[in-house]
Structure 1
């Protein structure tokens, strides 16, 4: 089965994953997603390390970040500097 054209992730942490305004646990908490949730991934950056993993994903449908430590990704997630700009939110 081929990878989807746009990368996505599945939340694998049993407690879910926090949505953050910026890629850091010091950043404001804007929500969370439950275990098993599927999310569209726009791009990734190297930022705060969580349990040995320094990658954070920017979601496709909203301007929030999740720690990759808690998400299994499917497809190739580009680095933020290589990604096309996200569509403006309205």
Structure 2
């Protein structure tokens, strides 16, 4: 299996992780990922703190958020204000 280009993340929570519409547990769950899943990361923001970690990642291929508390990242993930916009998905 080929890894996504950097930056990417690997789900480390044994229970997996929820994908959220916005970077908060108050936001709607729009999907989930299993332990070990690898995902492309577009950018990060500081938002709701989960177990001492306030970083949330925006996925590269889908406009959803995941708590960094449950994901180990590989490569430099830019802050959202520094990230280049993604090409429109269509």
TM-score, scaled to structure 2: 0.93
Write the distance in 1 (CA, Å) between the matches of 2:5 and 2:24: 28
1:50 paired residue number: 50
1:84 paired residue number: 84
Q: Give the Å deviation of 1:87.
A: 1.5
1:28 paired residue number: 28
Write the distance in 1 (CA, Å) between the matches of 2:89 and 2:25: 24
Q: Give the Å deviation of 1:5.
A: 5.6
Write the distance in 1 (CA, Å) between the matches of 2:5 and 2:41: 11
- In the alignment, structure 1 residue 6 sits paired with structure 2 residue 6: yes
CA RMSD of superposed structures (Å): 1.1
1:84–1:21 distance in 2 versus 1, CA, 3 Å: same
2:41 paired residue number: 41
Write the distance in 1 (CA, Å) between the matches of 2:53 and 2:73: 13
Write the distance in 2 (CA, Å) between the matches of 1:25 and 1:5: 28
Is the CA contact (8 Å cut-off) linking 2:5 and 2:40 kept in structure 1? no
Number of matched pairs: 87
Secondary structure in 2 aligned to 1:39? strand
Q: Which runs of 5+ in 2 are unaligned?
A: none
Q: Structure 1 runs of 4+ off > 6 angstroms?
A: none
